[in-house]
Chains A and B, each alone.
Chain A
């Protein structure tokens, strides 16, 4: 039973990102490089966050403290990634096979966002997944067996959010639209804050608002990427 849990949770958390990767990134080496670079940037941000957490001894046991710094540092590294990609754009274009890389500023944002998110998701869930293999699950004295599902769902949410956040963030910086940047940082704080409620097992109170934020962020990202309701209608109409 527990092995099923392991595979199901892995599928839930990483299935969608894997599909996106396979369909949009896997066949372009340059995109893979960008994605890996972004993932590495997230790792660095995590290293810095953990150093901060490690240094401030008295606050180690306070999850909220570490979280605040982690969010700030992640956003800082997202900005760093933006600067880096904008600087290397021309160079990447040179080595790119199909030379259309530069056509899609937001594509690079999307790719780096996915890398950023996947790495954060991996770190969020790997420990939990390792425990889910068994033999037991939670609940001898307390705890619900939906802990793993919730964790996986939260991880998926964070991966997708990171993807969309990167798009909005990059577009916001491109357009000097700081409202977008504020939305990214604000919603990041909001969702991370909500996840603190998990320790009380108020899973619904975490997941439902998080996915609402995800939905809103997706819409903004769609718009930031140049998507319009008109275009959407056109496509739908063309299909039918």
Chain B
């Protein structure tokens, strides 16, 4: 309950770490290590954790480590299609730099201090290196000095200190050989998790209640998936058209609470999907839905980081024909499934360069797959983008694995036409996969802050390029072009003919969206997409953490994405709030949003949320050890904090113990001796018998003999009193 306490050791190279685990004597230690070195030393600490109380990782300067990922080398390995292999036969893993800490039992706490809090590290370093010098300065006297002015004091100090050790060292923590028994700068890290053990145990414990007080020790992970269809679908709409399913993921993770930026891991894919959906709705308005015989469903999965929670739930419900609940579709309705995987990793590699090589992974070359690839290739080519098809059973980590595992035997012939768009081949281009460094800088995003027109008019990409606001190789331009290419391909699939007009995704919109998800939740788009309430609550100006969180609380990223679809891809109706709220047309939902003028707008949309909670928690008799579905839970935890202090060397304690024992023994002996010899020692004056201390059992007998005298004295005393 007190947290981990350890002596500070700044780790500046690997030998420091080796010394710490092998030779250090005053342990346990709190290793303070920068991110660049973390990867090199963590294995050593994990291997020999006995002398390690905890690790404080800090980011120093803007220089980043070569790789930094706490995900395993084969993310979500156990939930992958059994056909796929990781590491592959060539020895390549998807996430080569991954330490896997996210999936391992770490025997000590690890805290992270970002660059913005570097002054804390300076304090610790100061304490580590020089506090002793400071102490001497503050006392204003050189130690063990022979200056006459303060001689007594100094001598006493010298005496005290010399009883403990021969020198009064200048730097305790630095003087490694003599660390034992000296005051040392220490850190306490507190991160208390309730007795969760594992999901099975903690869920059982959470259902029991001790003495009528319900105890909750963990919650299942989960949130909401975001569903959006090009044309309305529903139970009431009789003819359900065949579907092209386009998906991406929302969430990411990192080892540290509240820091899950996930730019390359998930945001680029999600933003591309959102923009593509918005663009396609503009190309094919809902009012034209009767003209077409097929439909597109866009879906954002949540909780994918933790063994594909969102996609497992969708695939599971699809298997029983119950997803989405308001308009169930059969797995055979899905003619093609396109997943936008991790596509942000190579953006930084191709900064200042217009090319952005993408790869399309497919397990089988079914007709819809090859058709899509051909069309997509054509559309990408007009933007100078390359798309290389890769046919392999060895699919990269993506939601496709869930569908392949759960729906394999459901469709006719076991056919699952699936394509995965990524920006890497064989191994991730993103070296910060699911880590704190997977932020805006990792994809080279620079916010342009261009004002949005009164009715949500975004400046077209061509204008931005023409007036020099953006350049061909900017992230925003690349993403908007990919979104346009995808929207064009979808148009072709639905309409059966190439698109002829000039609607395209705007790099300006990409700029705003990326800003919302990577820099600040208090952005124009999200302000306009929020519910129109009387009080405007401006969220904090920081990126929303994309960690999925527990199912009991809904997290912001899914809501943001959903509302953006409502605002940007919905149909605006000129109605007031009451009229808007009373609308109930099948296949649609209605939202009263703030709008661009902040006056409130009524939006009609097909967007909806579905639950992203693993099927494992729905099934009554699910075997937690079967590994069929994700069973991640989050332990209930107490607030985390850390503090730095100097822990005593034990000198004071030793002096106190010696002096205390001596004083007690002396007092006992003296008292005993005095009481034993009280008779002789204390010659009673005539008017008083004094017995400082006496009444041991032995004395009693002697006392009995003296009683006569005592009584006489008492009488005498009474006489005295009267005299007074």
Contacts and interface: CB of A to CB of B under 8 A. Distances in A.
Contacts of B131: 139-141
Contact of A135 (B645, B654, B655, B711): B645
Interface in A1-50: 1-2, 4-5, 7-13, 15-20, 22-24, 27-28, 31
A105 B690 contact: yes
A153 B693 contact: no
A59 interface: no
Contacts of A12: 656-657, 659-660, 663
A153 B659 contact: yes
A226 B679 CA distance: 10
B695 interface: yes
Interface of A: 1-2, 4-5, 7-13, 15-20, 22-24, 27-28, 31, 93, 98-100, 102-107, 110, 134-149, 152-153, 156, 167, 174, 201-205, 208, 222, 225-228, 230-232, 234-235, 238
Given A8-B656, A9-B656, A140-B645, A145 B651 contact: yes
30 contacts: A1-B647, A8-B652, A11-B664, A12-B656, A16-B666, A20-B671, A22-B668, A23-B693, A24-B671, A98-B700, A99-B710, A100-B703, A100-B710, A103-B713, A104-B691, A136-B188, A137-B647, A138-B648, A139-B131, A139-B183, A141-B135, A145-B646, A145-B648, A146-B655, A148-B656, A152-B656, A201-B139, A228-B681, A231-B683, A235-B677
A106 B671 contact: no
B186 interface: yes
Nearest to A224: B690
A61 to B, nearest CB: 22
B514 to A, nearest CB: 43
Given A24-B671, A105-B690, A231 B652 contact: no
A226 B648 contact: no
B151 to A, nearest CB: 10
B138 interface: yes
Given A99-B707, A103-B713, A4 B693 contact: no
Contacts of A98: 695, 700, 703
Interface string B133-160: 0110011000000000000110111001
B660 A15 contact: yes
Contacts of A8: 652-657, 660
Given A107-B694, A135-B645, A202-B153, A15 B675 contact: no
A89 to B, nearest CB: 9
A27 B652 contact: no
A5 B707 contact: no
B391 interface: no
A149 B127 CA distance: 23
Contacts of B675: 23-24
Given A135-B5, A147-B652, 9 more contacts: A23-B696, A98-B700, A103-B710, A104-B689, A135-B647, A152-B656, A204-B156, A208-B156, A231-B680
B102 interface: no
Contact of A27 (B655, B659, B688, B695): B695
Contact of B652 (A22, A105, A149, A238): A149
Contacts of B680: 231, 234-235, 238
Interface in B151-186: 152-153, 155-157, 160, 183, 185-186
B681 A135 contact: no
Contacts of B692: 106-107, 110, 167, 222, 225, 227
Contacts of B237: none
Contacts of B706: 100, 103
Contacts of A93: 714
Sorted nearest first, the 9 A-B pairs with minimum C-beta distance are A136-B645, A15-B664, A12-B660, A11-B660, A16-B667, A8-B656, A204-B156, A137-B648, A8-B657
A138 B689 contact: no
Given A11-B656, A24-B695, A104-B689, A2 B664 contact: no
A80 to B, nearest CB: 19
Contact of B693 (A15, A24, A102, A202): A24
A175 B188 CA distance: 60
Nearest to A15: B664
A237 B690 CA distance: 22
Contacts of A234: 680
B644 interface: yes
A102 B711 CA distance: 8
A232 B656 contact: no
B241 interface: no
B19 interface: no
A135 B2 contact: yes
B672 interface: yes
B644 A226 contact: no
B671 A23 contact: yes
Given A140-B131, A149-B659, A231-B682, A19 B652 contact: no
Nearest to A167: B692
Contacts of A110: 692-693
A141 B134 contact: yes
Given A100-B710, A142-B138, A225 B661 contact: no
A135 B186 contact: yes
B114 interface: no
A5 B714 contact: no
A205 B682 CA distance: 34
Contacts of B183: 137, 139, 145
A4 B650 contact: yes
